[in-house]
């Protein structure tokens, strides 16, 4: 697979200098192979050709005219089609297979006012591998505070999270997990125990590491005689994350510019 590196350089970890390239973990979602087809000949349709083309376009007279959102053209029958002459289908190696409107309707998701979670282990490595794309705060209505607290403590003490699929938001289905989280005081000045809903990334978009030429076929076994000192030195470090360092670096530099500008103006 041809893959372009997002970045090439050296990452320094302790006494190690890692010469590496960075690749995107996720690709684009695969489009659904659903096409519009002519009901008579099962040919995949295309847009009506522009007037400048010499090809003559015949309009079928079998059915009364029906307004189409997009005029479609059958290249095999050489004619523009009406709505009643068009169906949707899946293109396969054996040909086009029609899909009923009832089956197409199952691809539409309507929002519901009740979703049920299935408890799974919070430390499941598969969840970390898939990753999170979006986070939502979950806050209770006033009468549901006790229930909220009970769910928070149950999930936290049992080290479980609630798996939800699908969760429909604005007509779009998502897969998500309900998690207990404690935001430390270093972020907002006080501690916040709460529930969050993390939307999982689409597994179909996840790229297989084996498809990248840089991925090593296997990692050598650890040599703890050599690793003993680096591990010991790393364990001595007790530095915690400074939230300010998580701000976009460009925004941080802009803040510095604002401070300098204000300082200059005050000196005048």
- Tell me the helix, strand and coil percentages in the chain, rounded to 5: 30, 30, 40
Tell me the pLDDT of the chain (268 aa) as tens digits. Answer: 557 888 899 999 988 999 999 888 888 776 677 788 877 787 777 655 454 444 555 555 554 444 445 578 888 888 888 877 888 887 777 777 777 778 777 878 888 888 899 999 999 888 888 888 889 999 999 999 999 999 999 999 999 999 998 888 888 888 999 999 999 988 888 999 999 999 998 888 888 888 888 888 888 999 999 999 999 999 999 888 777 777 788 888 888 888 888 888 887 6
- Residues 113, 176, single domain; the answer is yes
Structural contact between residues 19 and 12, judged by C-beta atoms closer than 8 angstroms: no
DSSP strands (E only) in the chain: 7-13, 16-22, 34-38, 46-47, 58-59, 72-74, 79-81, 86-92, 95-99, 118-121, 132-138, 160-169, 172-183, 192-200
**101 and 82 both lie in a single domain:** yes
Domain hosting 60: range is 34-105
Task: State how many domains the chain has.
Answer: 3
Decide if 18 is inside a domain. no
Residues 99 and 56 in one domain: yes
Q: What is the DSSP letter of 44?
A: B
- 42 with 70, same domain: the answer is yes
Question: Counting Cβ atoms within 10 Å, is residue 52 exposed (0-12), middle (13-18) or buried (19+)?
Answer: exposed
Report the pLDDT value the prediction gives residue 255, as an integer from 0 to 100. Answer: 83
Residue 78 lies in a domain: yes
Residues 125, 196 share a domain: yes
Residues 99 and 119 in one domain: no
Mark whether 52 and 119 lie in a shared domain. Answer: no
Say what the pTM is.
0.70
The helix/strand/coil state of 112 is: coil
Q: How far apart are CA 232 and CA 59, in angstroms?
A: 80
For residues 222-257, one letter each, b for 16 or more C-beta atoms within 10 angstroms of the residue's C-beta and e for the rest, the string is eeeeeeeeeeeeeeeeeeeeeeeeeeeeeeeeeeee
90 strand-pairing partners: 34, 97
Which contiguous run of DSSP H or E holds residue 230? helix 224-236
- Of 206, 235, 252, which residue constitutes the final position of a domain? 206
- CB-based contact 178:192 (threshold 8 Å): no
Task: Look at strands 46-47 and 192-200 and give their pairing.
Answer: unpaired
């Amino acid at each position: 697979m041809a893959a372009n590196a997002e970045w090439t350089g050296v990452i320094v970890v302790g006494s190690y200098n890692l010469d590496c390239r960075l690749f995107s973990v996720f690709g684009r979602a695969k489009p659904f192979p659903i096409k519009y087809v002519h009901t008579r000949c099962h040919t995949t349709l295309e847009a009506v050709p522009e007037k400048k083309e010499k090809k003559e376009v015949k309009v079928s007279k079998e059915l009364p005219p029906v307004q189409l959102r997009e005029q479609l053209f059958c290249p095999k029958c050489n004619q523009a089609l009406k709505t009643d002459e068009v169906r949707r289908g899946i293109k396969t190696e054996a040909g086009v297979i029609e899909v009923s409107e009832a089956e197409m309707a199952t691809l539409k998701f309507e929002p519901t006012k009740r979703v049920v979670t299935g408890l799974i282990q919070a430390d499941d490595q598969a969840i970390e591998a898939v990753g999170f794309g979006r986070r939502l705060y979950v806050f209770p209505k006033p009468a549901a505070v006790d229930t909220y607290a009970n769910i928070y403590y149950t999930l936290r003490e049992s080290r479980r999270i609630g798996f939800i699929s699908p969760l429909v938001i604005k007509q779009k289905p998502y897969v998500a997990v309900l998690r207990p989280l404690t935001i430390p005081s270093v972020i907002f000045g006080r501690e916040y125990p709460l529930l969050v809903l993390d939307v999982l990334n689409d597994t179909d978009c996840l790229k297989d590491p084996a498809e990248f030429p840089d991925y090593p076929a296997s990692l050598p076994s650890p040599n703890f005689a050599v690793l003993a000192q680096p591990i010991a030195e790393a364990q001595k470090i007790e530095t915690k994350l400074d939230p300010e360092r998580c701000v976009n670096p460009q925004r941080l530099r802009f803040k510095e510019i604002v401070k300098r500008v204000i300082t200059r103006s005050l000196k005048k």
